[in-house]
C-alpha cells in the first residue's frame, strides 16, 4: 500500500495506464496515443536514458516545442528520478547557454527545430535529437521505478528581470499538488469509465 505522500508522478500515470490502457491519453496532429501505448514509450525512454548512464538526480536539459516526446521524457525522468530542465526556445543563445550551464545536465535533448540552437548553447555536452531517443531501443524498462516523491522533477526558470534567469526546482510531490489544484480550479471532472 502506497500512501499519497509516497506517490510519484510516474506512479500516478502508470496506475492510470494500467487501469485504462485503451483510453486516449494524448493527441498530436494525426497521432493518437492511448495510455497503454504512451506507457510503453515512457518505459522505453526510461530504458534508453538508463542505458546512456542517466541516474537518479541527474539533470536532462530539454529544448523543444510541445510534442509527445517531450511529455514522454518528463514521465521517464519521473520514473527514474532524473530531473527535466525545461529550456525556453525563445531565449537568445547566450541566455540559453547560461540556463544550460546553470543546471549542468548530463544530457541535452533538442527537437530538430532547435537542434542548431542547442548545439551552439551546449558546447561540450552530450546532445541528442529528442526524436531519436529510444529509436535503437526496443526494450521496455522492466525494473522497479526508482523515482521518489521527494525527488526533483522539473527545473523551470525565472524571467531574469533582475539579471540572468535563475533555476527553480519543482519536486514530484509539488507537481502532484499543482496538478490537483489545477484540476480543481478548472473544474475538471473525471469522465472516464473503467472497463
pTM: 0.86
pLDDT the model gives residue 195: 33
- 124 with 100: CB under 8 angstroms? no
The CB-based long-range contact list for 11-19 (8 Å cut-off, 24+ gap) reads 11/145, 12/176, 13/39, 13/42, 13/75, 13/78, 14/39, 14/79, 14/145, 19/194
Using DSSP, how many helices (H) and how many strands (E) does the chain show? 6, 8
Q: What is the bridge-based pairing of β-strands 107-110 and 59-63?
A: parallel
- 8 with 149: CB under 8 angstroms? yes
User: pLDDT tens digit string along 137-155?
Assistant: 656 556 778 888 889 899 9
Q: Where is pLDDT greater, at 93 or 145?
A: 93
Q: Model confidence at 60, in pLDDT bands (50, 70, 90)?
A: very high
Residues in the chain: 195
Nearest CA among 121, 90, 94 for reference residue 105: 121
By mean pLDDT, which of 86-95, 96-105, 141-150, 184-193 is the weakest?
A: 184-193
Count other Cβ atoms within 10 Å, centred on residue 48.
21
Q: Does the pLDDT value for residue 186 go beyond 90? A: no
- 5 with 173: CB under 8 angstroms? yes
The mean pLDDT of 38-61, rounded to a whole number, is 95
User: 106: which 3 cell numbers?
Assistant: 548530463
Q: Is 76 left (phi over 0), alpha (psi -120 to 50) or beta?
A: alpha
The mean pLDDT of 32-60, rounded to a whole number, is 95
Q: Which residue has the cell 542517466?
A: 54
The mean pLDDT of 83-111, rounded to a whole number, is 95
End-to-end CA distance of the chain: give it in Å, rounded: 23
Q: Model confidence at 193, in pLDDT bands (50, 70, 90)?
A: very low
Amino acid at each position: 500500500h502506497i500512501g499519497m505522500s509516497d506517490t510519484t508522478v510516474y506512479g500516478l500515470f502508470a496506475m492510470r495506464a494500467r487501469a485504462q490502457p485503451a483510453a486516449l491519453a494524448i493527441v498530436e496532429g494525426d497521432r493518437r496515443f492511448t495510455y497503454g501505448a504512451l506507457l510503453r514509450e515512457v518505459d522505453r525512454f526510461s530504458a534508453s536514458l538508463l542505458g546512456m548512464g542517466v541516474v537518479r538526480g541527474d539533470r536532462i536539459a530539454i529544448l523543444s516545442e510541445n510534442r509527445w516526446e517531450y511529455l514522454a521524457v518528463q514521465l521517464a525522468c519521473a520514473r527514474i528520478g532524473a530531473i527535466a530542465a525545461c529550456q525556453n526556445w525563445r531565449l537568445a543563445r547566450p541566455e540559453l547557454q547560461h540556463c544550460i550551464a546553470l543546471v549542468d545536465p548530463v544530457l541535452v535533448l533538442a527537437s530538430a527545430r532547435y537542434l542548431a540552437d542547442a548545439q551552439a548553447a551546449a558546447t561540450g555536452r552530450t546532445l541528442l535529437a529528442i526524436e531519436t531517443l529510444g529509436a535503437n531501443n526496443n526494450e521496455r524498462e522492466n525494473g522497479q521505478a526508482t523515482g521518489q516523491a521527494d525527488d526533483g522533477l522539473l527545473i523551470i526558470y525565472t524571467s531574469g528581470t533582475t539579471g540572468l534567469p535563475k533555476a527553480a526546482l519543482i519536486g514530484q510531490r509539488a507537481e502532484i499538488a499543482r496538478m490537483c489544484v489545477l484540476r480543481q480550479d478548472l473544474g475538471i471532472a473525471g469522465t472516464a469509465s473503467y472497463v
